[in-house]
Structures are given as C-alpha cells and as structure tokens.
Amino acid sequence: MKFKKAMIIALLMLGSILLVGAAKTNDITEEIIPSGTVIEENHFFTGDKFENNGTIDGSLFVIAQDVLINGDINGNIFILSQNETIINGEVKGDIYIAATSKISITGRVDGSIFVVSNVVSIESRANINRSLYAVGQEINVYGIIDRNANLYASNNLLVKGVILGDLKYNSQTTNIVEGSVKGQTTVNKVAENDANKLFETTQSRLFSTISFIFTNLIIWFLLAFVFKDTRKKTSSLLQANKNKLFFLYGLVGLLATVGIGIVFLISYIGIPFGLFVLLLMFGLLYVATGIFIVTLSDIIGSKYPKFAGGNNIIYVIGFSVIYSLIKLVPFISPMISMLVVIFGYGLIIGSFYHKPEEEEEHNLIL
C-alpha cells in the first residue's frame, strides 16, 4: 500500500513547522535525548531521526523518518514517521502515530493507542491500560490490552496476546488464539476491495486529523511567540462578550472579500488583483478555524488552568480533536464548520480594529 497522502501531509507540516519552529529545533536533523535527561515541558522535533532515552514531562510532537522512544513520556505522543516508529518506554497519556512502514510498541501505555501503518505490532512485553485502535495491512497483537481492541487489517490479523475487553475486527485472514479475547468478538468479513477502501478511508481521516492538530499548533506557536498583540486582541474580543460583533466582522468581511475579488476579476486590468484577493481570502479561511480554536483555548485555559497542567496547548489539541469528530457527523458538520470559519474570520478582521481596554487583558497561559 502506497502512502502518498501521508507523505504529502508530512512534507507540508514539516515545511510549516520548520518555518516557525527554527528556534525550537535549531535546524537539527537528528536528536538523541540521553539517558537521565529530564525535559520539563512539551517537546517538539522535526528532522530525520528522533531518539528519546530520557524523560519528557509533557507531550511529544515529532515528524521524522525514524522514531525510537526508549525513555518515559509523561504526556501524549503525536508522531508522523516516514519509516518506522518504536515505543519501548512508558507512556502516561494517549498515543497517536502514523507511520508508513511499521509501528512497534513494547512498553507500558496508560492511555489509548490510535495508530495507522503498513505493519502494526503490539509486542509481548507491551501493556496497554486502555483501548487499541489500529489500521494497517498487517496487525499483530502479542501483548496485553486491558480494554477493547478495534483492529482493521486489510490483509493479516494475528492475536496471540490477551485482550481483556471486546475485540472488533476486519481482516482477510485471521489467526486468533483461543482464549486470548476475554470479552465479545465481533467479526466483519469484507471483500478485499472493501477492506482496502476501509483502510484508505480510515488512514485518510487519521492523517487529516493529525494534520489539523499540527496546523493549529503552528498557529498557536505563531500567536504565542510572534503575533502576541493579535492574540491578546482576539482573546479580548471573546472575553468582552462581543460574539455578535466578531461574527458580523466575519460575515461582512467574507462577503466583501468575495465581492471585491469578483469586481477585480471582471475588469481585465484587475485580474491579477482579483486573484490575489481571492487567494488571500482562501488563505485566511484556511487558518480561521485554527485562530478560533486557539482563542477559545486561551479563554478556557485562563478559567481552568489546572485542568491542562498550566499549559493550554492541551486545550488546543483537545478542541482540535473534538472539532475533527464533529466534522464526521452528517448534516451538523457543515453548519458547525461554517459558523466556526465565520467566527475565526471575524476574529482575524476584528483584531485589526478592536483595541482591548486594560481591564480586558488577561494573563494567557502559554
């Protein structure tokens, strides 16, 4: 199975993060965190190879060709890997991984695991305290899963470990050892074409969600460290309960931009300007949702700082995942998406005109 979509998304995110995160990565193409090292914050890396032998007291975000985690991660893991990802250490949070070649997990995971790869292997020493969601051509389970397993293998599925909850799977060929599943087993045999289609659809959705999360993290980084005044203004606009105002900004601004672009396109001499205006609008629409999510995260983070451990990047990730799930709901998703885009567009436009008063400014959690 070719992972062309995965590579395109990975390259786009890699380029974007390198542009805004040079200070974080220092143009390093390989990073090896030595044993005994403790990083007391969220950690970001983009490059060729990443290896962690120490402890990260936060979430880990990696885009690399090869990833090796031997140390402990006291947070969530988000990884895009071109080749292979190996998790040997202990992970306190959830794991989200998309790798083209293979994903191998041998350590203890306190959260759930969401993975997509050509080969997914839960080794015999692995202990997953929650549920496993895996999509791949070949899936092997040798370890222990304390809750449910949802496995979608387009070719082969092997279960020799222990699944304490229910097993739901799709696969062409299976080898499930008797007694390995303690709960109910739901089998859904599908044709090869249907299995491949399911694999591609699930893979596409997961990559889309991961891409959306990384895009919003880029926006968060820019607003946190580059456009700080804009961030204060957008947050103040929401804090001041001026929802109608920035919704009006967004609606009128969107209609006006489209109108101006069309007017320019009608006139021969204005075609380049019209194309520029429309391209600018599409660019702003692309980031509008992220602007809204980051701003909403600021508001919630300032009210409930302890919930995210004093770091509202957790809220950004959480709202990104929730929004991605909402987009899967028929009928409701187009309306929600339209409202969020208009709100975000309004926040962008409103940030140029709105001047927050002193009492409106808040200590934003970075």
| Percent above pLDDT 90 for the chain | 27
- Arithmetic mean of pLDDT, 49-75: 92
- Arithmetic mean of pLDDT, 215-229: 74
Confidence tier at 359 by pLDDT (50, 70, 90): very low
Q: Is 104 helix (H, G, I), strand (E, B) or coil?
A: strand
Q: Spell out where 160-253 has E strands.
A: 162-163, 167-170, 173-176, 185-187
Q: How far apart are CA 59 and CA 337, in angstroms?
A: 28
- Arithmetic mean of pLDDT, 219-243: 67
Query: What is the pLDDT at residue 1?
Result: 38
SS3 sequence of 118-143: EEEEECCCCEECCCEEEEEEEEEECC
Tokens found for residue 253 = 């601004």
CA dihedral of 5, 48, 102, 202, whole degrees rounded to 10: -30
Confidence tier at 51 by pLDDT (50, 70, 90): very high
Q: Is pLDDT at 9 greater than 80 in this prediction?
A: no
More confident residue, 294 or 1: 294
What DSSP designation does 125 have? T
Q: Is 113 in contact with 136 (CB distance < 8 Å)?
A: no
Boundaries of every domain in the chain: 4-198, 227-360
Query: What is the pLDDT at residue 366?
Result: 40
Q: Is 73 helix (H, G, I), strand (E, B) or coil?
A: strand
Q: How far apart are CA 117 and CA 121, in angstroms?
A: 10
Tokens found for residue 159 = 């279960």
Enclosing H/E stretch for 289: helix 271-303
When mean pLDDT is compared across 72-81, 172-181, 259-268, the lowest value belongs to: 259-268
How do residues 63-117 score in pLDDT, each as one tens digit? 788 999 999 999 989 888 878 999 999 999 999 888 888 999 999 999 999 888 8
Q: How far apart are CA 193 and CA 180, in angstroms?
A: 29
Q: Is 188 in contact with 157 (CB distance < 8 Å)?
A: no
The gap from C-alpha 201 to its chain's centroid, in whole angstroms, comes to 17
Tokens found for residue 138 = 């070949």
Query: What is the pLDDT at residue 233?
Result: 64
Query: What is the pLDDT at residue 231?
Result: 64
Q: Is pLDDT at 23 greater than 60 in this prediction?
A: no
Q: Is pLDDT at 307 greater than 70 in this prediction?
A: no
What DSSP designation does 181 have? B
What is the sign, positive or negative, of the torsion defined by CA atoms of 96, 310, 287, 326? positive
Residue 160 is which amino acid? K
| Percent above pLDDT 70 for the chain | 73
Q: Is 293 helix (H, G, I), strand (E, B) or coil?
A: helix
Q: Is 72 helix (H, G, I), strand (E, B) or coil?
A: strand
- Arithmetic mean of pLDDT, 314-324: 80
pTM of the predicted model as reported, rounded to 2 decimal places:
0.58
Q: Is pLDDT at 213 greater than 70 in this prediction?
A: yes
When mean pLDDT is compared across 247-251, 289-293, 307-311, the lowest value belongs to: 307-311
